[in-house]
């Protein structure tokens, strides 16, 4: 019998590196700073750390525009710092994955700088170039996530290049076999250094329809209501620019390499339909992929219940998140930390990989960004309505100037008007703080790992959403009124209760926002 893959029982944690810990007083988080805070992650119970891109970059999209896939940006440290991080994390039982951003490169990458010299340059075919349309405009109607056409005219060579994100992020041409060979080597370079896997950025974007036909426009009644530049992107049926089946062939190729190193591949596949999402984690595809249904949701208990049931049924290896560096924090969207912790409890009991986003364990809402201090290029593109800066403000470690994040008078982003009660130092010894509750929750998940199976959802439980997984029942009261709670016949022991740090007895009633994880100690006697 084959051993259970290590990542199936992992507790994930996302570090947005510029905002986690500054070690040299420049107001910018870095790798030595992260190393100095690994104790916090270990004490929390984290076993899988995902760090945002640290490669050399002009930072037009904060590192998601890579100029050298084998290097480290000096703002973050050195290759030696990466090695030290991997060693220090592994000593604490924490595996490390990094971002793999290969739908596009930076426009400052040597490949693209060479490619735009002439139409016959050897690097030209590593990107997607087309002649202008007959009217001199873009070759087709594809759109950029950041607004406007997904094409920019290169005046020097007279052709347009494709970029589904900013013009500083030209898309790679995955029909060119040189790209696949190069990326294979990049994976092996980092796996040989000890990296434990990759989070695959925009994993479903890699390949495009060979003919580059126009995307159909959606009927007005089918367009989701959303402001900012995203509104334009959502007007199209993205039939030809993303979600091409050929992307999965690339995933399979990477999977063979990753499996050789016992590494994990977790896709960023922004598909909210669980059935479609599940196709990316079948057989020899990606090991896991993030499900973003909760990240896109406000506080709507019935919708949360419906989405969780559908997603859990679709695949047993999803990565569960309710906050990220790309969206408003769950506490802001839900209206309270208590609600976010209740949902986190539900995620912690499911098969797959639950992830926390840095600061989520502190119950943080979005930080406040004063006018004129925005750093997000998406905010610049649409006037701030879709800004991601509020979710990216520096981690509050302790009260006082710099929040323990930096000794600099200012950080790269404003500190966000954090209160002392938001900090790790203040929450550390408070048994009722979000930090203490998350520690207990993660410990309960670890204790019940061997009991975890596909969830069987509790029926007729009113506003209490719950499920049974093996000998464990996980439940949360998502309503605004108390409700009775009965996990079923037999003797039960409470493994976790949001409201009682010392609980071992199962509560007969759940207060609004209260969540529990209980284990069956014996079944009822058969007469």
Catalytic residue list contains 201: yes
Q: How many whole angstroms from its chain centre is CA 262? A: 21
Nearest of 269, 135, 151, 155 to residue 212 by alpha carbon? 151
* Contact yes or no for 208/128 (Cβ under 8 A): yes
Residue 503 tokens read as 């609980």
Residue 469 has which token pair? 């997984």
Residue of 99, 241, 268, 422 marked catalytic: 268
Task: Note if 268 is an active site residue.
Answer: yes
Q: Ramachandran region of residue 513, left (φ > 0), alpha (ψ -120 to 50) or beta?
A: left
Helix (H, G, I), strand (E, B) or coil at 89: helix
Given the residues 201, 360, 389, 422, select the one marked as catalytic.
201
> How far is Cα 145 from Cα 132, in angstroms, rounded to an integer?
21
**Backbone φ and ψ of 12, nearest 5°:** -90, 155
DSSP per-residue letters across 98-133: EEE--SB--TTSHHHHHHTT-TT-TTGGGB-EEPPP
What DSSP assignment string belongs to 408-437?
Answer: SSS-SS---S--GGGSHHHHTT-TTSHHHH
- Spatial contact of 49 and 66, defined as CB atoms under 8 Å apart: no
Catalytic residues: 201, 268
């Amino acid at each position: 019998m084959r051993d259970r893959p290590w990542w199936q029982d992992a507790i994930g944690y996302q570090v947005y590196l510029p905002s986690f810990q500054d070690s040299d007083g420049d107001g910018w988080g870095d790798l030595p700073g992260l190393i100095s805070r690994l104790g916090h992650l270990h004490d929390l119970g984290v076993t899988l750390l995902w760090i945002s891109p640290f490669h050399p970059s002009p930072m037009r999209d904060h590192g998601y525009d890579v100029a050298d896939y084998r290097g480290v940006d000096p703002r973050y440290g050195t290759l030696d710092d990466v090695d030290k991080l991997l060693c220090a994390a592994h000593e604490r039982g924490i595996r490390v994955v990094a971002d793999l951003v290969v739908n596009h490169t930076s426009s400052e990458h040597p490949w693209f700088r060479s490619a735009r010299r002439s139409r016959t340059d050897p690097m030209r075919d590593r990107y997607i170039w087309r002649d202008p349309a007959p009217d001199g405009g873009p070759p087709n109607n594809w759109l950029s996530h950041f607004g406007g056409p997904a094409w920019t005219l290169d005046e020097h060579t007279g052709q347009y290049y494709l970029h589904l994100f900013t013009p500083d992020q030209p898309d790679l041409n995955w029909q060119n076999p040189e790209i696949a060979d190069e990326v294979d080597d990049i994976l092996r370079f980092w796996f040989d250094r000890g990296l434990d896997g990759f989070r695959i950025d925009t994993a479903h974007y890699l390949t495009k329809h060979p003919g580059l036909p126009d995307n159909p426009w959606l009927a007005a009644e089918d367009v989701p209501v959303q402001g900012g530049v995203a509104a334009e992107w959502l007007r199209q049926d993205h039939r030809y620019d993303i979600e091409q089946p050929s992307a999965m062939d690339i995933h399979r190729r990477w999977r063979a390499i990753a499996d050789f190193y016992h590494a994990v591949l977790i896709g960023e596949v922004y598909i909210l339909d669980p059935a479609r999402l599940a196709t990316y984690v079948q057989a020899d595809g990606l090991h896991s992929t993030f499900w973003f249904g909760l990240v896109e949701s406000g506080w709507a208990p019935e919708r949360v219940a419906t989405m969780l049931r559908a997603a859990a049924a679709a695949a047993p290896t999803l990565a569960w998140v309710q906050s990220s560096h790309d969206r408003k924090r769950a506490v802001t969207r839900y209206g309270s930390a208590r609600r976010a912790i209740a949902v986190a409890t539900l995620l912690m009991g499911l098969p797959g990989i639950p992830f926390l986003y840095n600061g989520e364990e502190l119950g943080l809402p979005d930080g406040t960004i004063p006018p004129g201090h925005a750093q997000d290029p998406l905010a610049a593109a649409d006037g701030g309505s879709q800004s991601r800066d509020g979710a990216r403000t520096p981690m509050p470690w302790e009260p006082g100037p710099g929040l323990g994040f930096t000794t600099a008078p200012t950080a790269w982003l404003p500190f966000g008007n954090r209160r002392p009660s938001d900090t790790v130092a203040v929450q550390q010894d408070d048994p009722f703080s979000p930090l203490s509750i998350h520690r207990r929750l993660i410990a309960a998940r670890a204790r019940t790992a061997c009991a975890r199976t596909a969830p069987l959802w509790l029926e007729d439980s009113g506003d209490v959403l719950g499920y049974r997984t093996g000998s464990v029942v996980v439940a949360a009261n998502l309503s605004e009124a108390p409700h009775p709670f009965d996990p079923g016949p037999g003797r039960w022991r409470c493994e976790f209760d949001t409201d009682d740090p010392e609980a071992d007895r199962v509560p007969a009633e759940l207060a609004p926002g209260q969540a529990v994880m209980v284990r069956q100690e014996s079944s009822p006697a058969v007469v």
